[in-house]
Structure 1
Amino acid sequence: MPGRHSGLHLFPSLLPPAAQISLLNRAFHRDASNQQHRTNLHMHYDIQYPPDPSLSFFDEASSAIRLTPKDPQIHRPLDVSVMLQKKLRWITLGGQYDWTAKVYPASPPPPFPPDIATLIDGIFPAMKAEAAILNLYSPGDTLSLHRDVSEFCDAPLASVSIGCDGIFMVGLDSDGESRSATMRLRSGDVVVMSGESRFAWHGVPKIVSGSCPSWLADWPCVSGGEERFKAWKGWMAGKRINLNVRQMYDR
């Protein structure tokens, strides 16, 4: 695969199991319940949030939550089960990227989660975590080829994989020669796109069904003590979570 000359680096199993579980807990039991962090659903739905800031959408107390369509002629109401199983595709952390205008809003963003920033900045000191997109995939989902070009700097981009394996493709052009790389990303792997590869075309054409590690498949009930999440035991068995972190501005 392309290495140091292209700036594309794969770090297999960089995040140990405990770090992966901790990252999932923070992202879904805390950050997803923060109304400042926008999702793909906000454009078309008014989202009812958990009744208490300490609760997540996975809590038993959140089972009655409903999402009301802004235009009922186009979209149907959703319950939290359909939201988490099928409809929630991404969550933005820190800088709130506008997917319609393809820009970051001029207004100040909510703070990037400091513990996640500490993790990423500690591993990759060449970048400062300021914005992230948390992508949710199920088998059958894909991510079309695209380039991440909206940031106002060329600092590296770090991509963390958790859950089911994903096939990752990236295209590189240098000296008039076109090249491509295809990688199977497993839970705990981290890809860094820097240098030549920072603005390369990339995508995810396939999620590998049944490939989630057994120790993670039962999340959010991995330790046996999370009775409040018991209705969701096994959710991660059919999911791939990708945390794509980037720096927004030059420092």
Structure 2
Amino acid sequence: MANDLDAHAKPPAKLREVYKEYQKLKPAALTNRPDLIQFDEDTSPSNDQVLVAKGTQLPQELRQIFLDFLSERPEHLEDIMPVRLDQSPIYQVPNLPGLLIYPSLLQPQLQLSLLDRLLHRDISNTAHKTNVHLHHHVPYPEASGTGVPGLRASYFAPTSSDLLFTPKDPALHKPLTTSQFLQKKLRWCTLGGQYDWTAKQYPSDAPPPFPPDLKDLIERIFPMKAEAAILNLYSPGDTLSLHRDVSEECAAPLVSISLGCDAVFICGLERADGEAEVAVMRLRSGDAVLMSGESRYAWHGVPKIVEGTCLKEMEEWPGEEFDEWRGWMRGKRLNLNVRQMFA
């Protein structure tokens, strides 16, 4: 652990109060909340709780970074970066030093490419564990006719529909079908360093490699090394309780990228007098948040997923090729939280 913070400690009372308030709030009430940080289509903030982060900017070669990540060059370059860098400001939250917001960082084509890799490729990788591994024997779909050793098919592929996830203890858990796995049971997947959510620590053995294309994308944009990540999957009604990420052996920033439906994100720091500084923001698909400096160890959580807000271009994912699952993303939110494990 990078410091003496307790991963099992309870969050400050003020943060718990704000969290519960937003958890109970109806989605329609979010529109006029004066304390909620929101960004419109041109990435202008809804209130004065955030300021442009002076001295912090996106890399000049951002368009090339995006082109290198995509497997196919877009027909129109504005599809991946429609504005100039000076028109894409990064925002800071002054009362939470080091908390930076990158509204609309990833345009739809990049989001879809990232989504394909995470859900078709990375959750089918035997090195990446999920919450379902805790209580079930997880079968993996086999790809046929690819000629690539070790390459696996997607769980969304028709050939994966008859997989059965058998319980480790039949007295406690029931078998799962692929449909049950994808619709509701799959809640998280770890990439790279395989974080143990129960013990709140990383295993002592060497971690599996982080997906190289994701690693390249993250490290060329953000001031950190991509060594471990947790992919969280949400449906409306799901939440993520307030917590701090304190198990890494360094204080390097962590970055969070949102895909799919909107989410309410709460972040806060406890002051010396026992009170807390709190920021509440609405994160949309393509937004990124960087937690650095003092905010690296801030309390944070997700009290609400906003139903019916999925990015239009993402609503039909995974599309015609996977017709049985067409429209799966319409009611989902994914969050890719990437960390550096070692100094």
Pairwise TM-score range, normalised by the shorter structure: over 0.9
Contact 2:260-2:334 at 8 Å conserved across structures: yes
Structure-1 residue corresponding to 2:64: none
Name the aligned partner's letter for residue 196 of structure 1: E
State the 1:54 CA deviation.
Answer: 3.5
SS at structure 1 position matched to 2:205: coil
Identity of paired residues, percent? Answer: 62
Matched length: 244
Q: Are 1:189 and 2:287 matched, yes or no? A: yes
- Which has the larger Rg? 2
**Alignment TM-score, normalising by the size of structure 1:** 0.94
What is the aligned counterpart of 1:171 among 261, 268, 273? Answer: 268
What is the aligned counterpart of 2:226 among 114, 129, 146? Answer: 129
Matches within 5 A, 1:17-166: 17-52=108-143, 53-124=151-222, 126-166=223-263
Deviation sequence 1:28-85 (CA, Å, 0-9, x none) = 1111111110000111000111022341100011000110000111100000001000
State the 1:4 CA deviation.
Answer: 6.0
Distance in 2 between residues matched to 1:61 and 1:26, nearest whole Å:
18
User: Structure 2 stretches of 5 or more lacking a match?
Assistant: 1-48, 51-91, 144-150
Name the aligned partner's letter for residue 334 of structure 2: I
State the 1:10 CA deviation.
Answer: 0.8
Distance in 2 between residues matched to 1:99 and 1:24, nearest whole Å:
23
Structure-2 residue corresponding to 1:14: 105
State the 1:174 CA deviation.
Answer: 4.4
User: Structure 1 stretches of 5 or more lacking a match?
Assistant: none
Distance in 2 between residues matched to 1:107 and 1:175, nearest whole Å:
37
Report which of the two has the higher share of strand.
Answer: 1
SS at structure 2 position matched to 1:179: strand
Deviation sequence 1:86-120 (CA, Å, 0-9, x none) = 00000000000011211100111110000001111
**Alignment TM-score, normalising by the size of structure 2:** 0.69
Q: Are 1:234 and 2:331 matched, yes or no? A: no
Q: Are 1:215 and 2:313 matched, yes or no? A: yes
State the 1:178 CA deviation.
Answer: 2.0
SS at structure 2 position matched to 1:198: helix
Structure-2 residue corresponding to 1:248: 341
Deviation sequence 1:200-248 (CA, Å, 0-9, x none) = 1100000000000111111111xxxx42x11100000000000000100
Contact 2:125-2:152 at 8 Å conserved across structures: no
SS at structure 1 position matched to 2:219: helix
